[in-house]
Amino acid sequence: MRSGERNTPRSAATPRTACPSGPSSASTNVGRRTIVKALASAEPPERKKIYRETAALNGLHGHIDAMIEADPKVSTATIWQRLADEHGTTVAYYTLRTYVISRRAAQKTPGTS
């Protein structure tokens, strides 16, 4: 037996009573308002969309777009190298690649390959 436990067994005639407003926040480590919101709706609320401009490419969007328009088949590595040589920037390759992919997808029109 652990210390602090009582030796009296819980009889079947003594039912456990639940809190009338639902589970207590102390037993679930969740706030009361969160529990009330969860009980009010079966579906969770929509997540908030966070729209951010990439800070790493500040001021370079125009240069990158111009390179893509001048030569649509230019590789991301070539754009990255030209940015480093001509503008002295050190942009992460993955960040640049993500931006170039999004720009090319936006420029594509349906029905063309």
Element (DSSP H or E) covering residue 72: none
Q: Which residues of the chain have pLDDT under 70?
A: 1-26, 54, 109-113
CA distances from 106 to 23, 50, 51, 68 (A): 49, 20, 17, 12
77-108 per-position pLDDT tens digit: 999 999 999 999 889 999 999 999 999 998 88
Cα separation of 55 and 48, whole Å?
Answer: 21
* pTM value > 0.75: no
